[in-house]
Amino acid sequence: MTPSTIYSREDVQTSVAMAPAYRILLVVTEPPQEQYLREYANALARPQSAEIGVFRLHQHRNGSSASCRAEFYTEDCGGMTVPELTSRMSLREHIMEIAESWPFDMLIADWPDADPDMSIFAHIVKDIDTIVVLVRHSQRMVRRVLVPAGGGAHALEGIRIADVLAKAWSLDRQVLRIIHPGPEFWERRADLKRRCRHIRNATLLYLDVAEVEMPVKVRLGGDVADEIICHSRLGDLIVIGGSSQWLMENHASASIPSRVASGVSGPVLMVLTNRGRPSALTDVFWDRTVAVDLTAESKEQAIEMLVDALVDARQVPLARRDEVIAAVMRRERCGATYIGHGTAIPHAALCGFRGLVGMLGVFPDGVPFGKAEDEGAKFLFLLLTPKESYEVYLPILARIARFMNEPDHRRQLTQAATSADVVALLGQAEQEWANERD
| Average pLDDT value over all residues in the chain | 82
Is 338's pLDDT higher than 90?
no
Is 6's pLDDT higher than 50?
no
**Residue 114's pLDDT is what?**
92
Residue type at position 266: G
**Residue 230's pLDDT is what?**
92
- Residue 68 binned pLDDT confidence (cut-offs 50, 70, 90): low
Mean pLDDT, residues 23-45 taken together? 94
CB within 8 Å of 70: residues ≥ 6 apart: 55, 56, 57, 58, 81, 82, 83, 84, 85, 94
Q: Which of 16-30, 330-344, 362-376, 399-413 has the lowest mean pLDDT?
A: 16-30
Q: Tell me: the pLDDT tens digits for 187-202? A: 566 667 777 777 777 7
Is 176's pLDDT higher than 70?
yes
Of the two residues 36 and 180, the one the predictor is more confident about is 36
**Residue 36's pLDDT is what?**
95
**Residue 8's pLDDT is what?**
33
Of 337, 345, 341, nearest in space to 361 by CA: 345
CB 95 within 8 A of CB 124: yes
Of the two residues 72 and 240, the one the predictor is more confident about is 240
DSSP H/E element including 317: none
Is 252's pLDDT higher than 80?
yes
CB 17 within 8 A of CB 60: no
* pLDDT above 90: percentage of residues in the chain: 41
Is 237's pLDDT higher than 50?
yes
Q: Tell me: the pLDDT tens digits for 349-396? A: 888 776 788 999 999 999 988 666 567 899 999 999 877 665 667 778
* 33-45 and 152-168 helices, crossing angle to 10°: 90
Of the two residues 42 and 205, the one the predictor is more confident about is 42
How many helices (DSSP H) and strands (DSSP E) are in the chain?
Answer: 15, 17
**Residue 19's pLDDT is what?**
43
Helix, coil or strand: residue 356: coil
Q: Tell me: the pLDDT tens digits for 200-227? A: 777 777 677 667 889 999 888 778 889 9
Mean pLDDT, residues 136-152 taken together? 87
Name the DSSP letter for residue 179. Answer: E
Beta bridge partners of 239: 269
CA gap 338, 331 in Å, rounded: 12
CA gap 107, 110 in Å, rounded: 10
Between the alpha carbon of residue 60 and those of residues 54, 64, 84, the distances in Å are 19, 11, 12
Q: Which fold has domain 20-110?
A: Double Stranded RNA Binding Domain (3.30.160)
Four-way CATH pick for 281-437: 2.40.50.140, 1.10.260.40, 3.40.930.10, 3.40.640.10: 3.40.930.10
Of 110, 178, 105, 107, nearest in space to 147 by CA: 178
Q: Does domain 144-273 have CATH number 1.10.10.10?
A: no
CA gap 246, 244 in Å, rounded: 5
Between the alpha carbon of residue 243 and those of residues 153, 248, 256, the distances in Å are 10, 6, 7
Domain boundaries, the chain: 20-110, 144-273, 281-437
